[in-house]
């Protein structure tokens, strides 16, 4: 039992951990692919930059041809203040170096031969910027001295190289990579929920199978017991009748107790037989209002009854009486010696269904007992057998209905019976009307 109680926690925790690891792996791979694309973009920018500048040393026309081959829109050389000194193609007059200064400084320390590449979503172009010389960094005030300790002459100012080229292919690869990562994450989440649902369904299925097996075993045992008990009961009944005739009068009180207990045992065996046999019986049209009205008169405590109008159900008469008598009895006995304030109400619902509510203000049902309330032989009463609710539910379900018990707001219990409404037996169908 302890293992069964811990199983859901262990399984669900293991599933959560496994799927979190898988999602982390997907995120890691997606991030790595995006970083690879960024490095690839920088590599393409540097290669295009070098190709154009090498071609520019030969001639402008050759450089322009190379730019067209490399999908480069413009190339330029800028001063350390961001002003254009030399350009070819479509480049701005000035560039905001403050936007790239921190990134350029960080990259220059680790790898002086690379720069910063950024993608512009509006223009779908990639801007690539790097220093052409790094012997003097005017922004930090650091100067590189010669071996003799003197300033180099002439002083080389750090020109800034700028390149702009088509970045649509890069952006497309980036979008595809991100979409694959997001889709994979969503698929994993969906798969996790599916596996979790399958596990829970399987657990419910196993519980149902185990319950059905126990009911089958219980049914076989109960069938054997009722058969074996009926013969001794018959013998005891005959002997009790003889004792009533032969024993003196001062034994009458003892014989009454024996007679009551004998009747109780007989009723119990009859109920068990009802539970085991076909619950459908002989369904006929039953006036639900008349049935409940007659049953209410059998109890010595006041019971309120409300109904929208007269309703009929198709049910075996004896079984219908057994169901509602049992529910009314439970409601009346729920208050002990006090008034349980029992109320009965019939309400018509959707899809031609009737809802019969039997409500009380008794002690109510504990939350821990609600799940077991329909189990055969489970009872909270001292003198109860625990078979009545199980039989009642079986009778109702045999007619395609449902019986459920739940706690009433403000205290007490609600027993709700849902059944299909039938046509008045004397009412003619419109098809039969000439």
Model pLDDT for residues 158-215, shown as the tens digit of each residue: 578 888 888 888 888 888 998 999 999 999 999 999 999 998 888 888 877 877 776 6
Range of lowest pLDDT (167-171, 195-199, 356-360, 364-368): 364-368
- Predicted local confidence at residue 1, as pLDDT: 45
What is the CATH T-level fold of the domain 284-420, as seen in this structure? Heat Shock Protein 90 (3.30.565)
* Percent of the chain clearing pLDDT 70 (strictly above): 76
Going by the DSSP 8-state scheme, the letter that residue 94 receives in this structure is B
Going by the DSSP 8-state scheme, the letter that residue 156 receives in this structure is P
Q: 65 Cβ partners below 8 Å, 6+ apart?
A: 55
Inter-residue contact 157 to 136 (CB < 8 Å)? yes
The residues with which 414 forms a beta bridge, in sequence order, are 359, 406
Inter-residue contact 287 to 251 (CB < 8 Å)? no
Residue 247 to residue 234: CA distance in whole angstroms? 20
CATH architecture of the region 2-144+154-166: 2-Layer Sandwich (3.30)
The residues with which 314 forms a beta bridge, in sequence order, are 285
Q: Is the pLDDT of residue 382 over 50?
A: no
Residue 412 to residue 359: CA distance in whole angstroms? 7
Q: pTM score, two decimals?
A: 0.46
Element (H, E) at 74: strand 72-78
Residue 195 to residue 189: CA distance in whole angstroms? 10
Band of pLDDT at residue 282, cut at 50, 70 and 90: confident
Helices 2-58 and 60-69 sit at what angle, rounded to 10 degrees?
Answer: 160
List pLDDT tens digits, range 56-87.
Answer: 888 888 988 988 888 889 888 888 778 888 88
Q: Where in the chain are the domains?
A: 2-144+154-166, 178-276, 284-420
Domain 178-276 matching CATH 3.40.50: the answer reads no
Which spans in 59-100 are helix H?
60-69
Task: Specify which of 103-107, 340-344, 368-372 reaches the highest per-range mean pLDDT.
Answer: 340-344
């Amino acid at each position: 039992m302890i293992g069964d109680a811990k199983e859901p926690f262990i399984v669900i925790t293991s599933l959560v951990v496994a799927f979190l690891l898988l999602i982390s792996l997907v995120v890691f791979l997606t991030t790595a692919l995006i970083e690879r694309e960024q490095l690839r973009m920088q590599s393409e920018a540097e290669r295009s930059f070098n190709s154009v500048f090498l071609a520019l040393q030969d001639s402008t026309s050759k450089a322009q041809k190379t730019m067209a081959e490399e999908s480069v829109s413009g190339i330029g050389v800028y001063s350390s203040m961001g002003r254009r000194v030399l350009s070819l193609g479509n480049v701005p007059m000035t560039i905001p170096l403050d936007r790239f200064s921190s990134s350029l400084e960080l990259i220059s320390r680790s790898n002086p031969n690379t720069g910063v590449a950024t993608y512009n979503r509006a223009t779908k172009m990639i801007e690539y910027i790097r220093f052409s010389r790094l012997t003097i960094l005017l922004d930090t005030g650091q100067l590189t001295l010669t071996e003799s300790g003197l300033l180099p002459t002439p002083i080389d100012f750090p020109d800034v190289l700028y390149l702009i080229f088509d970045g649509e292919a890069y952006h497309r690869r980036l979008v595809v990579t991100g979409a694959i990562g997001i889709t994979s994450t969503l698929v994993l989440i969906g798969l996790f929920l599916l596996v979790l649902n399958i596990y829970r369904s399987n657990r419910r299925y196993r519980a149902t199978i185990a319950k059905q097996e126990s009911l089958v075993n219980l049914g076989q045992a109960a069938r054997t017991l009722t058969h074996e008990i009926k013969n001794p009961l018959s013998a005891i009944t005959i002997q009790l009748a003889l004792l009533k005739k032969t024993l003196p009068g001062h034994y009458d009180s003892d014989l009454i107790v024996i007679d009551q207990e004998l009747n109780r045992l007989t009723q119990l065996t009859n109920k068990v037989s009802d539970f085991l046999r076909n619950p459908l019986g002989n369904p006929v049209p039953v006036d639900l209002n008349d049935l409940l009205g007659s049953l209410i008169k059998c109890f010595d405590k006041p019971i309120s009854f409300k109904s929208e109008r007269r309703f009929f159900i198709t049910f075996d008469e004896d079984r219908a009486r057994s169901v509602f008598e049992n529910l009314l009895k439970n409601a009346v006995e729920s208050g002990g010696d006090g008034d349980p304030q029992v109320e009965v109400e019939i309400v018509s619902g959707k899809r031609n269904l009737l809802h019969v509510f039997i409500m009380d203000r008794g002690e109510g049902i504990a939350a821990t007992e609600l799940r077991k309330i329909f189990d055969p032989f489970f009872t909270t009463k001292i003198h109860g057998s625990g078979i009545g609710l199980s039989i009642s539910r079986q009778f109702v379900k045999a007619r395609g209905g449902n019986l459920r018990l739940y706690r009433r707001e403000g205290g007490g219990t609600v027993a709700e019976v849902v059944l299909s409404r039938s046509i008045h037996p004397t009412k003619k169908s419109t098809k039969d009307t000439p």
